[in-house]
Chains A and B, each alone.
Chain A
Amino acid sequence: SQKIEQNSEALNIQEGKTATLTCNYTNYSPAYLQWYRQDPGRGPVFLLLIRENEKEKRKERLKVTFDTTLKQSLFHITASQPADSATYLCAPGHNFNKFYFGSGTKLNVKP
């Protein structure tokens, strides 16, 4: 069965630095991969989607890469701010019927 792995350990970085989060998947060939942000007690909020034929996607301070050979996506936040502190979830997918989320990586940005 498919497996989605995100680093379960929290990532602690200093304000202004670049945060890099990793999502690895196995036994799966997604057509796209989504990244969401989740704050405590709240629902996930969509950030970015990258398709299998795209190598990189950017939105403001966010950048996502997608390597279908390595079965990996990297999510970068540049010039990180304390307000970026949250849990970030990846969700590979290929249709509208079913979405599976990784367990998420908690990011702590210290001022």
Chain B
Amino acid sequence: EPEVTQTPSHQVTQMGQEVILRCVPISNHLYFYWYRQILGQKVEFLVSFYNNEISEKSEIFDDQFSVERPDGSNFTLKIRSTKLEDSAMYFCASTRPPTSGGAPQETQYFGPGTRLLVL
């Protein structure tokens, strides 16, 4: 069964450095999302992306964050100047196009996550 993949699985960076987290959503999916989960806390919505543009973003997604779909398969999250509080697990997710049968269209398929540690 197709899966969402994310790389790297772990990333350690120095405060102030830029990081790019990569995701390959399931190939025919239409909506793409980034979430973060600080250790021991809830999954927080960052941004949704549809038809090559941001659909919606949360208040967490400020100017230091950006997303891009540079080609037909990758979906990236860039953090320009990392802060200590950006340390978290970052999840990518996608939803499939409408088809008959199967899981509801609103079902989110999550990747395994990238654990980001900012020192």
Q: Are A93 and B93 in contact (CB under 8 A)?
A: no
Complex interface: chain B residues within 8 A of A49 (CB)? 103-104, 106-107
A37-59 interface bits toward B, Cβ cutoff 8 Å, 1 = contact, 0 = none:
01001111110010000000000
Known: A96-B31, A96-B48, A98-B58. A46 touches B42 (CB 8 A): no
Contact sample, A vs B, 10 pairs, CB 8 Å cutoff: A36-B108, A43-B91, A43-B112, A43-B113, A49-B104, A49-B106, A93-B106, A97-B50, A98-B58, A99-B45
Closest to A38 in B: B43
Which of A96, A100, A101 is in CB contact (< 8 Å) with B95?
A96
A92-107 interface bits toward B, Cβ cutoff 8 Å, 1 = contact, 0 = none:
0100111111111000
Q: Are B55 and A104 in contact (CB under 8 A)?
A: no
Expressed in whole angstroms, the Cα–Cα distance for A89 and B33 within the complex equals 17
**Chain B CB within 10 Å, residue with most, of A49, A93, A98:** A98
Return the 8 tightest CB-CB contacts between A and B, nearest first: A43-B110, A97-B56, A103-B42, A101-B43, A49-B104, A46-B107, A98-B56, A97-B55
A interface residues with partner B (beta carbon < 8 Å): 32, 34, 36, 38, 41-46, 49, 89, 93, 96-104
| Additional 18 contacts, C-beta under 8 A, given A44-B91, A97-B48 | A34-B108, A36-B108, A41-B113, A42-B113, A43-B110, A43-B112, A43-B113, A44-B43, A44-B108, A46-B103, A46-B108, A89-B42, A96-B31, A96-B55, A96-B106, A97-B50, A97-B55, A99-B33
B interface residues with partner A (beta carbon < 8 Å): 4, 31, 33, 41-45, 48, 50, 55-56, 58, 89, 91, 93, 95, 103-113, 115
Which of B45, B106, B107, B115 is in CB contact (< 8 Å) with A100?
B45
* Main SS at interface, chain A: loop
Closest to A45 in B: B110
Least CB distance, B72 to chain A, in whole angstroms: 20
**Chain A CB within 10 Å, residue with most, of B42, B50, B110:** B42
Complex interface: chain A residues within 8 A of B106 (CB)? 32, 34, 49, 93, 96
Complex interface: chain A residues within 8 A of B45 (CB)? 98-101
Complex interface: chain A residues within 8 A of B41 (CB)? 103
